[in-house]
Amino acid sequence: MPGFAILGLLLAALVATPARAAHTLTGPFDDTVASYTTVTNGTMETHSGTVLGTWVDYYSGKLGYDSRGPYAGSGAAGLLDQSWSHTGAGVALQQTVSVTRGASYVLSGYVYNAIVGGGNAYLDLADQSYAQADGGSGDCGSLSTSGAATWQFVYCQFTASSSSSSVTVRTVVDGTVNPGSYAFFDQVALTPAASFSPPESLSTDDDGDGYSELAGDCDDGDASLHPGVAEYCDGVDEDCDGIADEGAVDAATWYQDGDGDGYGGTIALAACTQPSGYLPTSTDCDDADTSVHPGASEHCDGVDEDCDGTVDDGAVDMATWYLDGDGDGYGGAATSIACTQPSGHLATSTDCDDADSGVHPGASEHCDGVDEDCDGVADEGAVDMATWYLDGDGDGYGGPATTIACTQPSGHLATSTDCADADATIHPGAAEWCNGVDDDCSGVIDDSYALDALPWHPDLDGDGYGDATTTWTACTAPSGCIADDSDCDDHDAAVNPAAAEWCDGYDDDCDGMVDEADAVDATTWYHDGDGDGFGDPLDSTVACDPPPWHVAAAGDCDDTNFSVYPGSIETWYDGVDQDCDGNDDDQDLDGWPQAEDCDDEDPLVHPEAAEVWYDGVDQDCDGASDFDQDGDGHDSATWGGDDCDDSDPATFPGAPDAPYDGVINDCDAADEYDADGDGHDAERYGGDDCDDHASDVHPGATEVWYDGIDQDCDGNDDDQDGDGWPLADDCDDTDPDAWPGAEGWSEDCEPLDPDSGGPADTDAHGDSAIPPDRFLGGGGCRCSSSAAPGLGWPLFGLLGLVRSRRRRPTA
């Protein structure tokens, strides 16, 4: 680049030609491209930033130190907040370095001058004069501007004296350094002139992408990486914001499973990899309720639990409601099943007579032989019965045992004063004993004056162990008192002889020892050999406090590898189980390794997964078409294929199709009732084809006469002229006017006379032998008595003959 060329020319000029002055470069700089080679036996800091352990503070004798980087501006070897009372040159740090006599060197380093009120901070050669690169003599000279509160790279070239094998390098501040002022020196180096090259400025754009390192370029050797460039899901920080893959343009959309029920809701998030708690689909209609999702059981709660758009349909908890027929507020036996209470129905069935509103549970019972309160017993507890008290032990005192009846039962009294009517020794005035019985019926059991009362000790903390310093006498333990007196601290319920020992600094079990090894909350500590925070589960120690190199978390499957531990980022398919979950080849955790899983990033895709048809995804990894559900080799017509029924493998174009069954297996509805494919449906299925098994038989087909087949389906195969006479009877089946019995000597199919050539019913002269009446109308009557016989009847016969030739058969 031009910058490097200029610096090279400048350095060459410094070496070859005497310079007129020392040189400075304005920072910041990229010291990764600077060249530093310290002289033999040199003990000064190199450009790597190691500790300046051999630098000595001239005035205090303290060692110098480097606690920050060269450009950060917070801590480096220097003179922070030192107050100097003298004027003139002040040496801060110095070091003697071996050199070759007469050789040429460059003294260089970074200087940060923040001296308030003036004063220069610079590098120098102490106490001796040396030949300078510009031909002069004296010290290396001031290389830093007074009060310049920025890092500057400074260097100068000199020639070592021919009489000396060492030089003393020092950092110098001239003038008075006031409190609060400071100067820093970093990466000071004494370098042979031939091996020195100055650092490159961070403001240079090395890769030509428009951004230098100072302008934010995170990789100035790659033009595709710089601020403002689009981010992608590739693990690379393309836009140099310090975060890889954020806001990537190819990030996928994930849906939050807020309630953790395994179904995504409506809250979406774009990310390169599936975030925890997110799913690739959104089907949950209420992502704040784990009981609401597709396939959930529906309940009577006004909520659509199964996300099918209908509330309470087929609810599993529909209630049984009972009809209250008599309106008394109690249900009878008649029932109805529903989510909500129907009108006139109740949730319970307790009415023993739902036709009588006076009979129901809770009704008043009377001495009338009727079970009014439906408890199965009539007249019990009747409102008009009296109370009688049993004298069970015959001591003359009635007990608490009562009988309700209209009349006094045998062995009963009208009053009750006996507190134990089964024991004749217990009654008012009897002696009291510690026996759990109120012997004298005073209302107090085992009074303190009982003849056999015992001593008791208070248990102030209620832990079951008493304090021997206090005693109470009573038949039974007074409140807060017990028979035991072995508690070592009766003010702490957690401290007693039977208490468990805890890691709490107390003698919890009163055995005189604190936090012994059997404490119940002693922790199992696991040896953590690689320091990754997870220990070896096979190497453990139980104690209240952790031993060295032990941690509470177990589960490290390789305690010699810092990068292997539970929760570590898994690098899939590399043969190393980084997160110690026993899995390196099943990224989507669906139970199928990458070698067998056709999509190891989707847990819903594997060889045993249920196929979701028509979504374009091969969930079961069988490689078959996702649009051919029935597997007949034809995709569904709904999804661009030609299969009219993709749920039936027997239905597809060209499939065998039995006609007339109403099932279209070949996806051609036209031939279902037209088996011969002649375009005419069969007659028995509403069509007009008289033979649906022959394609040449149908209405409009060409008839082949007298072959026994009705080709045109008109019902006729042997009467070609349509005169009603078949070929077997018709003397001319091509002439509709010729048929047996037709009028006319040439149409009636009678044989001709061989002599006359006329009909066989004429005489030898050709005259008709048929009676004249045949040719007369009106029963053979002649038209006129005056008509000439020779002319009249032949004329009428001729007219009749003409008329008969026009007649068509009526059959």
Tokens describing residue 496? 């007693």
Contact status, residue 651 vs residue 665, Cβ threshold 8 Å: yes
Residue 554: pLDDT band with limits 50, 70, 90: very high
What per-residue confidence (pLDDT) applies to 530?
92
Higher pLDDT, 763 or 453: 453
Task: Kindly report, residue by residue over 150-160, the tens digit of the pLDDT.
Answer: 666 677 777 88
Confidence of residue 592 (pLDDT cuts 50, 70, 90): very high
Other Cβ atoms closer than 10 A to 748: 16
> What pLDDT is stored for residue 292 in this prediction?
93
The whole-angstrom separation of Cα 611 and Cα 221 is 49
Give mean pLDDT, residues 477-497. Answer: 89
710, pLDDT greater than 70 = yes
Residue 111 has pLDDT above 70, yes or no: no
Cα–Cα distances in Å, from 703 out to 220, 549, 641, 678?
95, 108, 43, 15
Using alpha carbons, select from 741, 743, 722 the residue that is nearest to residue 733: 722
Could you give the percent of the chain with pLDDT greater than 70?
72
Q: Kindly state the average pLDDT of the residues 68-89.
A: 32
Mean pLDDT of 415-435: 87
DSSP 3-state of 56? strand
**pLDDT at residue 76 tops 60:** no
Round to whole Å and give the CA distance between 522 and 397: 65
SS3 639: helix
pLDDT at 497 over 70: yes
Least confident of 124-128, 201-205, 528-532, 663-667: 124-128
Distance CA 726, CA 720 (A): 8
The per-residue pLDDT for 648 is: 85
> What gap in Å lies between CA 303 and CA 320, rounded to an integer?
20
**Least confident interval from 123-127, 557-561, 703-707:** 123-127
Residue type at 258 in one-letter notation? G
CA 506, CA 70: separation in Å to the nearest integer?
54
Q: In whole angstroms, what separates CA 576 from the centre of its chain? A: 27
Report the DSSP pairing between strands 412-413 and 386-390.
Answer: antiparallel
Separation between Cα atoms, residue 156 and residue 134, nearest integer Å: 10
- Using CA atoms, how far residue 788 sits from 62, 461, 777, 782, 783, in Å, is 180, 163, 17, 11, 11
Between strands 335-338 and 278-279, the pairing is unpaired
178-202 confidence digits (pLDDT tens): 555 566 666 667 777 777 666 666 6
Between β-strands 523-527 and 540-543, what pairing exists: parallel, antiparallel or unpaired? antiparallel
| pLDDT tens figures, 767-786 | 444 343 332 233 332 223 33
- In this predicted structure, the answer to whether residue 230 has a pLDDT above a threshold of 90 is yes
**Alpha-carbon gap, residue 608 to 144, rounded angstroms:** 76
Paired with 32 in beta bridges are none
| Amino acid in the structure at residue 3 | G
Mean pLDDT for 96-105 is: 80
Comparison of pLDDT for 55 and 137, the residue scoring more: 137
Say if residue 425's pLDDT is above 70: yes
In the predicted model, is pLDDT for residue 704 greater than 80? yes
Quick: pLDDT tens for 158-178.
788 888 887 777 666 655 555
| Token digits of residue 727 | 């070929």
- The residues that bridge with 467 in the sheet, in sequence order, are 486
pLDDT at 149: 58
The first and second tokens of residue 318, run together, are 């529909």
Average pLDDT score over residue span 15-28: 33
The full 3-state SS of 452-514, as one line of letters, equals CCEEEEECCCCCCCCECCCCEEECCCCCCEECCCECCCCCCCCCCCCCCCCCCCCCCCCCCCC
Q: Where are the domains of the chain?
A: 2-201
The mean pLDDT value of the chain amounts to: 75
Burial tier of 121 (Cβ tally within 10 Å: 0-12, 13-18, 19+)? buried
Question: pLDDT tens across 578-589, in order?
Answer: 999 999 998 989
Q: What is the b/e burial string over 624-637, where b = at least 16 CB atoms within 10 angstroms of the residue's CB?
A: ebbbbbbebebbbb
Q: Two tokens at 661?
A: 């069954």
- pLDDT at residue 642 above 80? yes
DSSP conformation class of 637: G
Strands 182-192 and 166-174: unpaired
Confidence at residue 404, expressed as pLDDT on a 0 to 100 scale = 82
Strand, coil or helix: 132: strand
Q: Which pLDDT value is given to residue 105?
A: 79
Q: At residue 621, does pLDDT exceed 60?
A: yes
DSSP string, 674-709: -TT-SS--BGGGTS-BS-TT-TT-STTPPP-TTSS-
Percent of the chain exceeding pLDDT 90 equals 22
- Listed in sequence order, the residues at least 6 apart from 307 whose beta carbon sits closer than 8 Å to its beta carbon are 283, 284, 285, 286, 292, 293, 294, 296
**For range 51-74, the mean pLDDT:** 32
Tell me what pLDDT residue 56 has: 38
Question: What's the rounded Cα separation, in Å, for the pair 748 and 742?
Answer: 4
- In this prediction, residue 182 carries a pLDDT of 61
Using alpha carbons, select from 274, 229, 119, 160 the residue that is nearest to residue 604: 274
CATH dotted code for 2-201: 2.60.120.260
Mean pLDDT of 335-342: 88
Cα–Cα distance between 394 and 199 in angstroms, integer?
121
Q: Is the pLDDT of residue 229 over 90?
A: yes
CB under 8 Å to 73, separation ≥6 — which residues?
Answer: 112, 151
Average pLDDT in the 375-393 region? 86
pTM score, whole prediction: 0.34
Mean pLDDT of 787-810: 33
**What is the predicted pLDDT for the residue at 110?**
66
**Nearest to residue 109, comparing CAs of 65, 142, 155, 141?**
155
444 in Cβ contact with 437 (< 8 Å):
no
Tokens of residue 389, six digits = 């008290």
User: How many angstroms separate the CA atoms of 689 and 711, rounded?
Assistant: 10
Average pLDDT over residues 725-746: 82
Q: DSSP secondary-structure letter at 643? A: B
What pLDDT is recorded for position 760?
A: 54
For position 140, what pLDDT does the model report? 57
Phi, then psi, of 12 in degrees rounded to 5: -65, -40
Evaluate whether 154 touches 219 at the Cβ level (below 8 Å): no
Checking if the pLDDT of 535 tops 90, the result is yes
CA distance 340 to 319: 8
Sheet holding 523-527, edge to edge: 540-543, 523-527, 550-551
Residue with tokens 């008043």: 364
Return d(Cα 451, Cα 63) in angstroms, integer. Answer: 93
Q: What is the pLDDT of residue 252?
A: 93
Cα of first residue to Cα of last residue in the chain, in angstroms, is 118
Higher-pLDDT residue of 127, 449: 449
| Separation of alpha carbons 63 and 18, rounded Å | 36
**Residue among 21, 16, 173, 7 nearest 83 (CA):** 173
374/353 Cα distance (integer angstroms): 8
Instruction: Choose between 523 and 98: higher pLDDT.
Output: 523
99 CB-side CA count, 13 A: 29
- Residue 416 has a pLDDT of 87
What would the pLDDT profile of 233-279 be if each residue is shown by its tens digit? 999 999 998 889 998 999 999 999 999 999 999 999 999 999 999 99
DSSP conformational letter for 419: S
Cα 95 to Cα 44, 47, 673, 749, distances in angstroms: 8, 17, 113, 155
- Range of weakest confidence among 340-354, 461-475, 752-766: 752-766
Distances (CA, A) of 69 to 66, 122, 155, 774, 811: 8, 19, 19, 148, 127
CA distance 739 to 726: 9
